[in-house]
Structure 1
């Protein structure tokens, strides 16, 4: 049986190069129809005087004041490192010798 949703699922599957069997097309078309009906029901409830939201709670970022501070001394930072050499951090090699 060919329905608009089945045809649409087949079209999108073809664009995505997905080979669907007829029973898979029927199942996915049914699922798509349920989703569209659910969205339609929600749309009936939505009213124009209710502002759109992306989150149920109002969120705001809390930033600390951007005030300059005295930077750490290089020797002090290097002293906290597990390994250092010639004033630089020493880290394990991750690339081959030829890199």
Structure 2
């Protein structure tokens, strides 16, 4: 994803930075990791490639986990209320999956 972002023109990356989390993270990528590695923590301003990968992974996992938790609670709560189950089944049958 980072490489795809770098393949874009500079103007395109600047424009996408406003609406894309990936573009925003890539914009904060360190220009030279070797120079940044020599700095102390207070002097570092940008993210390393590894830090960006960790952030992207975190967002992926967080999005998956919240969706899975919501679905689990939905199933749990619907299983406690048979009348609600019947209403959902009826609505699905009436709309034929539309």
TM-score, normalised to structure 2, is 0.33
* Larger-Rg structure: 1
Higher percent of residues as strand: 1
- Whichever structure has more helix as a proportion of its residues is 2
